[in-house]
A and B are shown apart, each in its own frame.
Chain A
């Protein structure tokens, strides 16, 4: 029995390794804010949503499958949460009462296993009830199949078979074992047998009456005999206990698996709740194949910034369809990094099947997703900053594939503009020619201008807006790169308390950057 809520025909693997650049992605996109909103301080949810978000899919079918399941969840959140609670209960009960089955005696294992199975049976009945009530109210393929399976597999007849076993296996009538003779005439191949029922076949009964039965009893005071007999009995109980304990494990794994598959959606429900509260819009994205070049959206905002500020934030509308390279230039603290982050977050969210923070959104999926940000905090490293940056670039390149996306944020700025631009130009040109989509935030005029001069149709230029009075709008608009980054504004704001940018809180740690442009 499988839940198949994450994939049409396979399990979601919670043990799958995170991508090697997980740390960079978390740091650069401030993913922890997103994860916290989804997990709501639940460690298990946190673990699963991280895996799900960071191991996105580039199969459009899978993305759409999850989108449908998620739509059902948004539609009937209380039912989904109730099912999830059953799985949590199963886990908590097991943890509370059976700290792992298990003693070192077959008898102990047997009674633990029976107790645990009885508990599971109760939860399974509850699950069956919900499935019965919900049939017809869910539309997605995933949930429809799941409920049908539960109703069919866990019918009344099944529960009665299970309860009979749990009764008989307490062995109130003794243990029956069959055996053969192994090497040295020692008893071997012990098998636990179910006594032939007296009602079954008169022929057998007549026959067995004639069969001789020999017997003996262990005398009261023969302790070693009693121990030996106990050991033999344990052989039988061992087999039953194993079968039952493994069965209990199977059900436990079933609930666990169900919990894993639902956890992602519960995370989405949590996030949805938070965004609804601040009236931030969401939309289900339209994914395009990885070979296409699509990126068009309206009202795309940085969900992490919105969650941090607890209010809806300015969104951007851009149509970058058919573009391989998007170069973003313009005012410091004009929303470039925020924009880049919103691109990254939307991409990850789309590819794991979530809704995205926008009014509308469509993009091609990518086969690999990378970020390359300039790291201020690494300044003290002995190996040298440019060395460190190129080292990270080397790691990215060693794993990059066709139709990946790379987000660069002020990369290769550890050296002077001329060298940095040249390095960036060579790297970016090569990546684009190798079929990799690039978003590049830079204050290197030489670099940006160089590409602008080429005048190629697959390159787009965006600029952080600054009104004539120096105030930033945090909106990006298509526009030619300009030779200065307006660091002066920032300088003035900070040193002279003059007019200028309202400080964007999302960029707090990057306040003093790029003063080299002054």
Chain B
């Protein structure tokens, strides 16, 4: 079977390949930040459309996971990067030619572009042939490149390039400038004057001295005086330049289309791996999740929010990992506990993990099993929207209603602190009703709330609680633990902080 694409195994199966617009839930889950960071500096490859397109079939996810695993080999990844860098330069040269005036100058850069392309392809083929790749995608591509490198078209291109380059490298000339007058002739063994001057005074040298060479601006481009000199150099070496002319005419449409597409698509993997490398360096785990369509038992050990981790890493702050699992009938995490304790982060992490898994990417965590959903719906409170409380409550209900209408049992819903500005009694009743609807749908859900009692609504709900350091509630652990919602521990820790516990008071009050 021939090679088609490194992102999609089959040629045409009706799968949507690229999406231009940002999925709705991206901002709530901070996936927009993540994708921005992943694709930063790679705008030229237009990678975002790939990241906006979750896969819907397990096979393609496996196809990508295999490829990604292969690329985790650092040597192979380095080879791919080297290839990409060369291709970047090739494109830069070709683009530059469009802006140049003088023919010999254009021809010179065309030759550079072809040379770097030949080198890129040949090195890649060589490197792939020696690597122990096992993925279907890379193996098929390796076969393709090997064949291409052997083809007449490519071998002729490479040989011609080398010949013309060699000829040009023999050109060495002298320019004498006196007043307005310029002489150009072949170089005839004149000695290097700077070296001689330097040698004369070397005896006084005490150490390194300042470099007085002025950075004369080296502009790509050529002024008409340089162009005139080049034309005269061409007259000094007529054969060399006629070869060059012929070469350019012959190899006009040189980059191979499949190679070009591969160069873009492979960046999906490179970009992702490069992004997660720094987290791995910081000791954070990543794993290839088992992605399922049947059964809604999911788990992740030591997961974390990839967007938040990025910020914390930059601030050199510690990053807290959390575990979760849903078993049997369990479908819904009800997250409660002190504020700023990592509840929202937990919800985001749950969403991010599922989305990243659906792209075929490794996810934060030591081991994970995740559900291949048909859609993610989020309802996150936006504080700045609180202008009209009644309008807001209405708005919340309209939105949540729309979500529940659209969602199927294979969807994921993430709800973060709705009704927080509603009267407590209303909030309790409404939350309970909505949660009951979600339970009926039998879908996976994270429900962040300040209403403890929701946690024990049924067998489907699992209570998760954000925690604080015992004795110092001001210090968050950012650990979200699976345990009954229970305000008491929190109250006691506040007492401890002020040393108002029994023991604390015994110590403080002198007898």
| Given known A-B contacts A11-B206, A165-B200, A215-B182, A195 and B190 have beta carbons under 8 A apart | yes
Chain B residue nearest in CB terms to A190 = B175
Q: What distance in Å separates the Cβ of B111 from its nearest Cβ neighbour in chain A?
A: 8
Which B residues lie within 8 Å of A153 (CB)?
203
Which B residues lie within 8 Å of A1 (CB)?
203-204
Q: By the criterion CB–CB under 8 Å, are A184 and B112 in contact? A: yes
Q: By the criterion CB–CB under 8 Å, are B193 and A240 in contact? A: yes
Q: Bound state CA distance, A109 and B180, in angstroms?
A: 22
Q: By the criterion CB–CB under 8 Å, are B229 and A254 in contact? A: no
Pick the contact of A253 from B206, B225, B228, B233 — CB < 8 Å?
Answer: B206
Please report which residues of chain B, range 176-191, place their CB below 8 angstroms from some CB of chain A when the two chains form the complex: 176-191
Q: Which stretch (B208-216, B329-337, B436-444) binds chain A? A: B208-216
Q: By the criterion CB–CB under 8 Å, are B232 and A196 in contact? A: no
Interface size class of A (residues with CB under 8 A): 35 or more
Could you give, for residues 207-250 of chain A, a 1 whenever the CB lies within 8 Å of some chain B CB and a 0 otherwise?
A: 11001111111101000111011011111101111111111011
Which B residues lie within 8 Å of A253 (CB)?
204-207, 209
Which A residues lie within 8 Å of B198 (CB)?
243, 246-247
Q: By the criterion CB–CB under 8 Å, are A233 and B194 in contact? A: no
| Given known A-B contacts A176-B190, A181-B168, A184-B108, A213 and B212 have beta carbons under 8 A apart | no
Q: Bound state CA distance, A115 and B230, in angstroms?
A: 36
- Is B222 on the interface with A (CB-CB < 8 A)? yes
Q: By the criterion CB–CB under 8 Å, are A240 and B194 in contact? A: yes
Which A residues lie within 8 Å of B123 (CB)?
none
How many residues of B are counted as interface, with CB atoms below 8 angstroms from the partner's CB atoms?
65
Could you give, for residues 216-241 of chain B, a 1 whenever the CB lies within 8 Å of some chain A CB and a 0 otherwise?
A: 10001011111011101101100000
Which A residues lie within 8 Å of B281 (CB)?
none
- Is B201 on the interface with A (CB-CB < 8 A)? yes
Which A residues lie within 8 Å of B188 (CB)?
196, 204, 207-208, 211
Which B residues lie within 8 Å of A191 (CB)?
192, 194
- Is B144 on the interface with A (CB-CB < 8 A)? no
Q: By the criterion CB–CB under 8 Å, are A229 and B177 in contact? A: yes
Which B residues lie within 8 Å of A173 (CB)?
178
Could you give, for residues 150-192 of chain B, a 1 whenever the CB lies within 8 Å of some chain A CB and a 0 otherwise?
A: 0000000000000000001101111111111111111111111
Which A residues lie within 8 Å of B201 (CB)?
162, 246-247, 250-251
- Highest count of chain B CB atoms <10 Å: which of A106, A179, A251, A256: A179
Chain A residue nearest in CB terms to B213 = A242
Which B residues lie within 8 Å of A185 (CB)?
104-105, 107-108, 168, 230
- Is A512 on the interface with B (CB-CB < 8 A)? no
Pick the contact of B210 from A184, A233, A236, A246 — CB < 8 Å?
Answer: A246
Q: By the criterion CB–CB under 8 Å, are A178 and B187 in contact? A: yes
Could you give, for residues 470-487 of chain A, a 1 whenever the CB lies within 8 Å of some chain B CB and a 0 otherwise?
A: 000000000000000000
Pick the contact of A186 from B108, B173, B197, B203 — CB < 8 Å?
Answer: B108
Which B residues lie within 8 Å of A250 (CB)?
201-202, 204-206, 209
Q: By the criterion CB–CB under 8 Å, are A214 and B184 in contact? A: yes
Which A residues lie within 8 Å of B181 (CB)?
215-217
Pick the contact of B209 from A229, A235, A249 — CB < 8 Å?
Answer: A249
Q: Bound state CA distance, A331 and B235, in angstroms?
A: 101
Q: By the criterion CB–CB under 8 Å, are B177 and A174 in contact? A: yes
Chain B residue nearest in CB terms to A213 = B185
Q: By the criterion CB–CB under 8 Å, are B213 and A228 in contact? A: no
Chain A residue nearest in CB terms to B97 = A184
Q: What distance in Å separates the Cβ of B188 from its nearest Cβ neighbour in chain A?
A: 5
Q: By the criterion CB–CB under 8 Å, are B197 and A247 in contact? A: yes
Q: What distance in Å separates the Cβ of B53 from its nearest Cβ neighbour in chain A?
A: 39
Q: By the criterion CB–CB under 8 Å, are B220 and A184 in contact? A: yes
- Is B109 on the interface with A (CB-CB < 8 A)? yes
Q: What distance in Å separates the Cβ of B178 from its nearest Cβ neighbour in chain A?
A: 3
| Given known A-B contacts A11-B206, A105-B214, A214-B232, A242 and B194 have beta carbons under 8 A apart | yes
Pick the contact of B185 from A162, A180, A211, A228 — CB < 8 Å?
Answer: A211
Q: By the criterion CB–CB under 8 Å, are B193 and A193 in contact? A: yes
- Is A161 on the interface with B (CB-CB < 8 A)? yes
- Is A508 on the interface with B (CB-CB < 8 A)? no
- Is A130 on the interface with B (CB-CB < 8 A)? no
Which A residues lie within 8 Å of B225 (CB)?
218, 225, 228-229, 232
- Is B503 on the interface with A (CB-CB < 8 A)? no
Q: What distance in Å separates the Cβ of B236 from its nearest Cβ neighbour in chain A?
A: 7
Which A residues lie within 8 Å of B108 (CB)?
181, 183-186
Which A residues lie within 8 Å of B183 (CB)?
213-215
Chain A residue nearest in CB terms to B187 = A178
Pick the contact of B226 from A187, A236, A256 — CB < 8 Å?
Answer: A187
| Given known A-B contacts A243-B198, A254-B204, A180 and B186 have beta carbons under 8 A apart | no
Which B residues lie within 8 Å of A113 (CB)?
212
Q: By the criterion CB–CB under 8 Å, are A104 and B176 in contact? A: no
Which B residues lie within 8 Å of A192 (CB)?
192-194
Q: What distance in Å separates the Cβ of B273 from its nearest Cβ neighbour in chain A?
A: 32
Which B residues lie within 8 Å of A242 (CB)?
194, 211-213
Which B residues lie within 8 Å of A224 (CB)?
223-224
- Is A44 on the interface with B (CB-CB < 8 A)? no
- Is B196 on the interface with A (CB-CB < 8 A)? yes
Could you give, for residues 163-178 of chain A, a 1 whenever the CB lies within 8 Å of some chain B CB and a 0 otherwise?
A: 0010001000111111
Q: What distance in Å separates the Cβ of A76 from its nearest Cβ neighbour in chain B?
A: 25
Which A residues lie within 8 Å of B232 (CB)?
214-216
Q: By the criterion CB–CB under 8 Å, are B206 and A238 in contact? A: no
| Given known A-B contacts A183-B112, A185-B105, A250-B206, A178 and B194 have beta carbons under 8 A apart | no
Q: By the criterion CB–CB under 8 Å, are B214 and A204 in contact? A: no
Q: By the criterion CB–CB under 8 Å, are A187 and B203 in contact? A: no
Q: Bound state CA distance, A244 and B107, in angstroms?
A: 38
Q: Bound state CA distance, A247 and B109, in angstroms?
A: 38
| Given known A-B contacts A1-B204, A204-B189, A218 and B194 have beta carbons under 8 A apart | no
- Is A448 on the interface with B (CB-CB < 8 A)? no
Q: Bound state CA distance, A437 and B41, in angstroms?
A: 65
Q: Bound state CA distance, A241 and B197, in angstroms?
A: 10
Q: By the criterion CB–CB under 8 Å, are A178 and B173 in contact? A: yes
Q: By the criterion CB–CB under 8 Å, are A229 and B180 in contact? A: yes
| Given known A-B contacts A173-B178, A174-B176, A217-B181, A251 and B193 have beta carbons under 8 A apart | no
Which B residues lie within 8 Å of A213 (CB)?
183-185
Q: By the criterion CB–CB under 8 Å, are A179 and B190 in contact? A: no
Could you give, for residues 240-279 of chain A, a 1 whenever the CB lies within 8 Å of some chain B CB and a 0 otherwise?
A: 1111111101110110110000000000000000000000
Q: By the criterion CB–CB under 8 Å, are A177 and B212 in contact? A: no
Q: What distance in Å separates the Cβ of A119 from its nearest Cβ neighbour in chain B?
A: 14
List 7 A-B residue pairs with CB atoms under 8 Å apart, sorted by A's residue number. A101-B212, A177-B174, A177-B176, A178-B172, A185-B107, A228-B223, A242-B212
Q: Which residues of B contact A (CB under 8 A)?
A: 93, 104-105, 107-109, 112, 168-169, 171-198, 200-207, 209-214, 216, 220, 222-226, 228-230, 232-233, 235-236
Q: Which residues of A contact B (CB under 8 A)?
A: 1-2, 11, 101-102, 104-106, 109, 113, 153, 161-162, 165, 169, 173-181, 183-187, 191-196, 204, 207-208, 211-218, 220, 224-226, 228-229, 231-236, 238-247, 249-251, 253-254, 256-257
Give me the 9 closest cross-chain CB pairs, A-B, nearest first: A174-B178, A185-B108, A247-B201, A193-B190, A249-B209, A228-B225, A245-B212, A184-B108, A250-B204
Q: A176-B176, A180-B172 are in contact. List 13 more A-B contacts (CB 8 A).
A: A165-B200, A181-B168, A191-B194, A192-B192, A204-B188, A213-B185, A226-B180, A228-B224, A238-B216, A243-B197, A246-B210, A249-B210, A250-B201
